[in-house]
Structure 1
Amino acid sequence: MNMSSFAHALEDHVFVPPYADAITSFWKGRLAGGSGAAERPSLQHLIGNASMPFDLARSRAQAASLAATIRGDGRQLLLLPGLLASEHRMEPMRAILESAGFRAHGWGMGRNFGPRADTLEQIDRRIDQIRRNTSGDPVTLIGWSLGGLFAREYAKFARAKVGGVVTMGTPFSGDPRANHAWRIYQLISGFPVDRPPFTCRREEKPSVPTVALWSRRDGVIMPACARGRRGERDHAIEVDCTHMGFAVAPEGILAVGRALEAMRG
């Protein structure tokens, strides 16, 4: 696949107007040889993310068997999408977790255009809504990429309302620029990657059970940044998928099931 085809694959499956043209041009420039101080994943692994439509097709074909493999226990789950993704992108995972016996919910905030000053308050309102409509038990957060950072910070913001946090390819450790997404993050959100508009202590572990899913094939986030160090999370589980695959590939969905099982003890 050449650079132009890859840029269009990213546009078709991840990004949408009104930013599509600007971001496609940005990626073409970066892939042509842009550089920075921080180490980033290889171009080969970045291009591997174009397999997302095939990963999604596999999960849809295997939905019943995936749900039968995961042992749900009725826990309330809230799924938080990554940068520029909507909850629709996480719908296949949500449906499979529901079929497996969990009560899984979308975050109700549309497409993730990055952090805002009231992001944690908006998540708090969604959590309160879920708890009002159910038993009032704590909610377990499952965050993909940037959504995982939101999940970790919310768990510090409202500890009593959170049962645990699962992150998927989330750069909560190390250099916040050790990835291929930080410039897009700044372009879309308008904030420096190391200074979001709310209190954020990325490497500080929330005081709830925390499982980090990471992959050597991520391609967007450096694996070490998503794996984290001892003391920054409770458990780390390696997953054989791309960054986009965390949310849609069978391997990513099964890994979330394993993470939820690990939290159960």
Structure 2
Amino acid sequence: MARPDPSEVASPSLFLLLSELRVGAELAQHFLRGLGVRGLPRGRGEPVMVIPGFGASDINTAALRRALNQLGYEAVGWGCGRNMGMRPQVRDRLSQSLRSLCEERGQKVTLIGWSLGGVFAREMARHQPQCVRRVFTLGSPFNGHPNANNLVKLFALMNPKMRGAPDMDGFRRRIPAPPVPCTAIHTKSDGIVSWQCSVETEGAQIENVEVRGTHFGLPLNPQVLKVIAERMAADAG
């Protein structure tokens, strides 16, 4: 997929934003059926780290990690509390956690990042590719324009030092994919992040996969788990 023109990418419409209320139905379906691990390929104890989105914590990714553990992987959270944006101490802790997990397990780690967590995962892989097997991003805003989402005002409120015009040079440097296999999972009905901002420029080891559902429901989406399980099994093969 070609890189979107930043001037043509806007925040999701009010209709799409309101459609995020469908996450209630997605939650109900999850409580009734779970994520559905039956029939999915299994892992062999490979380490996985799941990074939550802005305003979320490991609690919000527990269902996805539980499903991955049921499939035979060793999935852990990021262990940094609620994600309120990147801080120096968070950056250092993530770097150390990734390095330790890789060394303890004796193999590379798969990173899964939801929303802002996917931006973090890509940068971790960019700076420590020797520790990363693959990156999965779920509705993550790493392309297009940094303001093409419906959380930009809340993010600025929680990060007063980052108010004002966005750092476009820094943002552009983060657009190219890191030097590891990357799968960008997105939904065109995303009401939080413009879906065009969540797609990679496809290449030899870079792909985009569309699923149905809401932005808030991506960690509970059975289609997301299926994509992850199939790609991870192929990596192991």
Give runs of aligned pairs for residues 165-184 of structure 1, distance below 5 A.
165-184=135-154
Indicate the residue corresponding to 2:182 in structure 1: 210
The amino acid across from 2:127 in the alignment is F
Q: Which moved more, 1:243-252 or 1:93-102?
A: 243-252
Change (3 A) 1:232 1:123: farther
Q: Which structure has more RCO (C-alpha within 8 Å, separation ≥ 6)?
A: 2
Matched, 1:230 2:190: no
Gaps of 5+ in 1: 1-36
- Kindly state the Cα deviation for residue 131 of structure 1 after the two structures are TM-superposed: 3.2
Greater than 4 Å deviation, 4+ residue runs: 261-265
Give runs of aligned pairs for residues 1-150 of structure 1, distance below 5 A.
39-63=10-34, 66-73=36-43, 74-132=45-103, 134-150=104-120
Task: Tell me if the contact between 1:75 and 1:103 (Cα under 8 Å) persists in the aligned partners.
Answer: yes
Change (3 A) 1:140 1:129: same
Alpha-carbon RMSD across the aligned residues, in angstroms, is: 2.6
The amino acid across from 2:177 in the alignment is K
- Kindly state the Cα deviation for residue 151 of structure 1 after the two structures are TM-superposed: 0.3
Work out the percentage of aligned pairs sharing the same amino acid. Answer: 30
Q: Secondary structure at the match of 1:96?
A: helix
- Kindly state the Cα deviation for residue 118 of structure 1 after the two structures are TM-superposed: 3.5
Change (3 A) 1:54 1:103: same
Change (3 A) 1:260 1:228: same
The amino acid across from 2:37 in the alignment is A
Change (3 A) 1:195 1:117: farther
State the TM-score, normalizing by the size of structure 1: 0.77
Task: Tell me if the contact between 1:205 and 1:231 (Cα under 8 Å) persists in the aligned partners.
Answer: no
Alpha-carbon distance between aligned partners in 2 of 1:184 and 1:148, rounded to the nearest angstrom: 18
Q: Secondary structure at the match of 1:69?
A: coil
Change (3 A) 1:101 1:83: same
Change (3 A) 1:56 1:257: farther
Indicate the residue corresponding to 2:5 in structure 1: none
- Kindly state the Cα deviation for residue 104 of structure 1 after the two structures are TM-superposed: 0.5
Q: Secondary structure at the match of 1:48?
A: helix
